[in-house]
Amino acid sequence: MKTIGLLKNTVQEYAWGSYTAIPELLGKDSPSNRPQAELWMGAHPKAPSMVNCEGKWISLIELIENNPIDILGKQVADRYSNRLPYLLKVLAAAKPLSIQAHPSLKQASAGFERENRLGIPLNAFNRNYKDDNHKPECICALTPFWALNGFRRISVILSLMEKICPQNFKKELDDFRNQPDHVGLKRFFNDLMTMDSNRQKLLIDDAVKNAQKLSGHDQVFEWMVNLHNEYQEDIGIFSPVILNLICLEPGQAMFLPAGELHAYLDGVGIELMANSDNVLRGGLTPKHVDVPELLKVLNFEEREINILSAQKSSDYEYVYLTPADEFELSVIIDNKSIDYTSSEKRSIEIILCFDGEAAINDIGKNVSVTLVRGASCVIPASVERYGIKGKGTLYKASVPV
């Protein structure tokens, strides 16, 4: 395959998904019969995109395996062992996702090898590491998007906890107050996550009663009550108190490196990540939670969140700059007339039309595909240059080269 190909993508149906956002994007009946959480575009073994190649639908994985240099480009093929290094998603959260973090590359490699050695099946409930890759990710809001990301300033955590926590948690708070650093935070978090279940239930019940009294004045406590409504006896309901609570406005984005505890709470966004499925969970989920393993990967430094705005890189294109080596997210936008020409130095790209309509033309071969709302395509590295004409908003995933 040496020209542009339309994609057919898999929708993942998870309980926290929206019944309307993805069906409406794809022009399907809305609401759907089941919650639709994520639209995957890429070459992940769990749900690879299918590519229209000369009238036949072929897995993007198969295309890459057969023609890695043509599809990925030599630099990317060599660096990432003939694998597409990113996964592009539309994420639609109508309910909160689990509190989670992702391992570093070294941690993922060691964890994957260890669980293989122990003979834990890849699909086992208690499997932590599904592959040997890390999973840095960038989320860009399409609607107002509520999320938690990284530990708050310790002074703020202490202040918020003091407002809601009963006397039976006083010792832990006093210990934390006496050591207000990353070591104290790690001990405090471990105490919270591993306390006796009966004591944990009493703590949750008392804290939620206090949070309800304050919820009309502070969104932190409002979200705590909301999480309790979904996960009544889950210690993860304290996450808005200990993590930074953020609402991204449409067009804003944030980057999540390895080791940062986070959760997506509500909204629709474009998510671009390294091609991995490694997740270590800490709560707000019926799935496997492994607190000791989570503690090994977490960064316990207090953190201020850097909200990303797209930076203009060329006519019509704006880039979200992150430290990731595997991916770069950009948006090509004009509500009147896009007339975009790609760079000659490029690798494999996936483009999703979020709004409007645009024709994407392989300049060298004079082959063109039209993208309407919800449609996507892959542009192999072997396409020397391409142009886009139309109007609307298109999101592009690429590899920095």
Catalytic residue list = 281
Distance CA 109, CA 129 (A): 9
- Contact between 262 and 147 (Cβ < 8 Å): yes
Report H helices in 80-196. Answer: 105-117, 154-164, 170-178, 182-194
Q: What is the DSSP letter of 237?
A: G
Q: What are phi and psi of 108, to 5 degrees?
A: -65, -45
Q: What are phi and psi of 322, to 5 degrees?
A: -135, 170
Report H helices in 60-180. Answer: 60-66, 68-72, 74-79, 105-117, 154-164, 170-178
> Which token pair is 232?
């009544």
Distance CA 379, CA 382 (A): 8
Rounded (to 5) percent helix, strand, coil in the chain: 30, 35, 35
* Pairing outcome for strands 243-248 and 280-283: unpaired
Residues 6+ apart with CB under 8 A from 175: 184, 187, 188, 191
Q: What angle do CA 16, 20, 26 make, to 5 degrees?
A: 115
